[in-house]
Chains A and B, each alone.
Chain A
């Protein structure tokens, strides 16, 4: 009996070891499969590109696209270069300087930045709800943790503006890790904060952290409901709760126009045209970042990138899926980046520009 037990004890590590050996071939060596991580907003567009890539190259291995959210995606992407790290990261905002430095520290600092198009973060409400008209300042006063320096205690929209309905303030939005949430903070809350308190604009330059704490912190007493990364869930919650307002990507609004309608901000309804010409305040640029070192190592990566450029113009497959094309000059610059492998200049990230 003892012999049997010993034999089994010896066999198990061997079996496990065999697994590891087999896996090492796929994990650490060369890889013939494109790997993408990142934003859930860009995910539908990148998956479409992956499909076109497969249709055009029937013998290629299928690309692997993971939707992790922009922040988590950049962390995975920046963990290093080589076969076990992603080639491409989808981002629904620009990479931050701190994130770039993290990348560079792991040897992955040689990047290309490609803006693939624009997305709007849409404010929406149920069709049967009372029509709302919002401004960034109003949203800031309704949702900021401390709009006047003391905890926010407004309960209904009428508390803020006598013209508004007396419905309770209830906003369903994305969680703090999401790129959509960061765009909401940057595009709406920061704008509202600066409109109300022009003196804080100077603070932004001097002390970014203090400005973020003062202007971008969202109240956590239940008025802002963190609804997770699932935007369909927010649409459903709006149907069940007509007084509430939801925040999600514009493509979800477009797909669900029978259940929800856009809320005008500064008098501008979220629409395709208003987002493209930047008159709707909730528009943001979508990016992909590519490791230049991987362009040579991973077969097909160049063709994959070229497919973005072939489909992002008005009328292209990406725009049929809800992507809003960037202005012509931005498209030309991005196409040039792809065709000439132009590296990203990290100094351009310092300004914190939202495209």
Chain B
């Protein structure tokens, strides 16, 4: 015990004299105490204010997106009476069973027949111009499902043109608003299935997010397949095997720097190496995945190293002491204990890659492609790029589609972060 902590004991009568107990009730003291409490309160409120501001930004973003975007999942339909017997399509039910059904229907002039039916039914309101460009495709699918429709009159709810759709949702031009008022009871609303199952289109009522989503999923698959094993193995090597010297220090600094490099730089690298030197196909998820893997790898290495370092040395010592080989120590003990941290870091790195646009623009994943990709080498776009492309569209109908696509992207990001939090809470061991 140090001397200063020993209370001062008066030794002579002279010293005892004017010592009064602290007067907590004096004005000066009460002022001081009030100031202390006020400072405390101020500090707490500042913290609370910071939280409120950041939550406010988030709420603002979400509310604006949901307010604009929820209509993107809804389409306006008009009920159209159809009678394909009049159109003389020259089709029989038998021809529609085989694999050539699409071609037969496209060649038979179904589009003209649907336009003619619309012209008859809504002659005063605008006729075929009311219908979406893709309306006849719905008729085609209905006829393919039930070929007997060719032989009898029926009605079908078909999507309306983009201008009418926007007006029915209360945001259109005066002319379109009048048309909506005239159509009145013929209009109905439904879930826009094309939006969830289709690919890009020039017509807002037909544009779908599935093509871009599938492109994103394929890209993420390549990224994960490459960045995860390489990232985790480098982390294990650096933590468990590498000697501590100048070279590994340099490596560590380089990896940390790499994690902070702006993503556009990786895009340029991808353009030069994968497209320029290796001649991989442009716009392919394979190239996108390779480029994003470069970007994600350092994040995974850093997260994995931290997770591995958090496993106490006593576990390793104990395993070695009972005769485990180094690889058994790593694979039986260190990796399972570090897994939650490694997976959390990986998922967060992947979430960042999912939201990345700039490098994908550089390697050409910004094209208009009217069908979802089937292979890793097929041209594709990705979700954030699709949002970027739609935001530049001339037609008004794309405003809500853009917001709806942002919602889809946000749902995926939230889901990935949710999984990361779940893994951390469920499997994390505290020492």
Interface check B286, CB cutoff 8 A: yes
Q: Which residues of A contact B280 (CB under 8 A)?
A: 19-20, 23, 27
Q: Which residues of A contact B279 (CB under 8 A)?
A: 24, 27-28, 84
CB contact under 8 A between A231 and B281, given known A1-B326, A56-B106, A63-B370: no
**A64–B394 CB distance below 8 A:** no
Complex Cα–Cα for A225 and B377 (A): 40
**B106–A58 CB distance below 8 A:** yes
Q: Which residues of A contact B283 (CB under 8 A)?
A: 64, 66
Chain B interface secondary structure, helix, strand, loop or mixed? loop
Size of the A side of the interface (Cβ < 8 Å), in residues, is 48
Within 8 A of B (CB), among A257-278: 257-258
Interface check A156, CB cutoff 8 A: no
**B284–A26 CB distance below 8 A:** yes
Within 8 A of B (CB), among A1-53: 1, 4-5, 8, 12, 19-20, 22-28, 33, 35, 40, 43-44, 46-48, 50-51
**B202–A51 CB distance below 8 A:** yes
Interface check B71, CB cutoff 8 A: no
Interface check A54, CB cutoff 8 A: yes
User: How close is B231's CB to chain A, nearest CB, in angstroms?
Assistant: 12
**B394–A44 CB distance below 8 A:** yes
User: How close is B143's CB to chain A, nearest CB, in angstroms?
Assistant: 14
**B391–A230 CB distance below 8 A:** yes
Interface check A322, CB cutoff 8 A: yes
Size of the B side of the interface (Cβ < 8 Å), in residues, is 48
Q: Which residues of A contact B241 (CB under 8 A)?
A: 1
Complex Cα–Cα for A5 and B234 (A): 11
User: How close is A84's CB to chain B, nearest CB, in angstroms?
Assistant: 6
**A33–B379 CB distance below 8 A:** yes
Complex Cα–Cα for A252 and B379 (A): 28
**B394–A252 CB distance below 8 A:** yes
Q: Which residue of A lies closest to B364 (CB)?
A: A66
**B392–A64 CB distance below 8 A:** no
- Selected from A35, A48, A229, the residue in CB contact (under 8 A) with B392 is A229
Q: Which residue of A lies closest to B283 (CB)?
A: A64
**B278–A67 CB distance below 8 A:** no
Q: Which residues of B contact A258 (CB under 8 A)?
A: 173
Complex Cα–Cα for A335 and B286 (A): 39
Q: Which residues of A contact B37 (CB under 8 A)?
A: none
Interface check B351, CB cutoff 8 A: no
Complex Cα–Cα for A135 and B170 (A): 39
Complex Cα–Cα for A231 and B282 (A): 26
**B368–A50 CB distance below 8 A:** yes
**B377–A40 CB distance below 8 A:** no
- Selected from A12, A25, A44, the residue in CB contact (under 8 A) with B377 is A25
Complex Cα–Cα for A37 and B106 (A): 28
Q: Which residues of B contact A24 (CB under 8 A)?
A: 279
Most chain A CB neighbours (cut-off 10 Å) among B230, B284, B327, B392: B392
Q: Which residues of A contact B376 (CB under 8 A)?
A: 22-23
Interface check B428, CB cutoff 8 A: no
Q: Which residues of A contact B202 (CB under 8 A)?
A: 44, 47-48, 51, 321
Complex Cα–Cα for A74 and B74 (A): 40
Complex Cα–Cα for A198 and B338 (A): 78
**A255–B366 CB distance below 8 A:** no
CB contact under 8 A between A50 and B370, given known A23-B377, A27-B280, A232-B392: yes
Q: Which residue of A lies closest to B203 (CB)?
A: A51
Complex Cα–Cα for A252 and B391 (A): 13
Interface check A343, CB cutoff 8 A: no
**A27–B370 CB distance below 8 A:** no
Q: Which residues of B contact A51 (CB under 8 A)?
A: 133, 201-203, 370
User: How close is A181's CB to chain B, nearest CB, in angstroms?
Assistant: 16
User: How close is B425's CB to chain A, nearest CB, in angstroms?
Assistant: 32
Complex Cα–Cα for A55 and B136 (A): 10
Q: Which residue of B lies closest to A258 (CB)?
A: B173
Q: Which residues of A contact B111 (CB under 8 A)?
A: 55
User: How close is A59's CB to chain B, nearest CB, in angstroms?
Assistant: 7
Q: Which residues of A contact B394 (CB under 8 A)?
A: 44, 231-232, 251-252, 255, 321-322
User: How close is A51's CB to chain B, nearest CB, in angstroms?
Assistant: 6
**A23–B281 CB distance below 8 A:** yes
Within 8 A of A (CB), among B391-419: 391-396
Q: Which residues of B contact A231 (CB under 8 A)?
A: 392, 394
User: How close is B215's CB to chain A, nearest CB, in angstroms?
Assistant: 12
User: How close is A48's CB to chain B, nearest CB, in angstroms?
Assistant: 5
- Selected from B286, B364, B391, the residue in CB contact (under 8 A) with A232 is B391
Q: Which residues of B contact A255 (CB under 8 A)?
A: 394-396
**B327–A26 CB distance below 8 A:** no
**B379–A23 CB distance below 8 A:** no
Complex Cα–Cα for A59 and B9 (A): 101
Interface check A62, CB cutoff 8 A: yes
- Selected from B230, B369, B378, the residue in CB contact (under 8 A) with A12 is B230
Within 8 A of A (CB), among B319-377: 325-327, 364, 366-371, 375-377
**A59–B369 CB distance below 8 A:** no
Complex Cα–Cα for A63 and B396 (A): 24
Q: A46-B368, A58-B103 are in contact. List 4 more A-B contacts (CB 8 A).
A: A1-B327, A12-B230, A23-B284, A230-B392
Listed in ascending order, the chain A residues whose CB lies under 8 Å from chain B are 1, 4-5, 8, 12, 19-20, 22-28, 33, 35, 40, 43-44, 46-48, 50-51, 54-56, 58-59, 61-67, 84, 229-232, 251-252, 255, 257-258, 321-322
Can you list 18 A-B pairs with a CB-CB distance of less than 8 A?
A8-B233, A12-B230, A23-B287, A27-B281, A35-B379, A40-B392, A44-B394, A50-B368, A54-B370, A55-B111, A62-B369, A62-B370, A62-B371, A65-B367, A84-B279, A229-B392, A231-B394, A321-B202
Instruction: List 3 tightest A-B contacts by C-beta distance, closest first.
Output: A26-B377, A58-B102, A27-B281
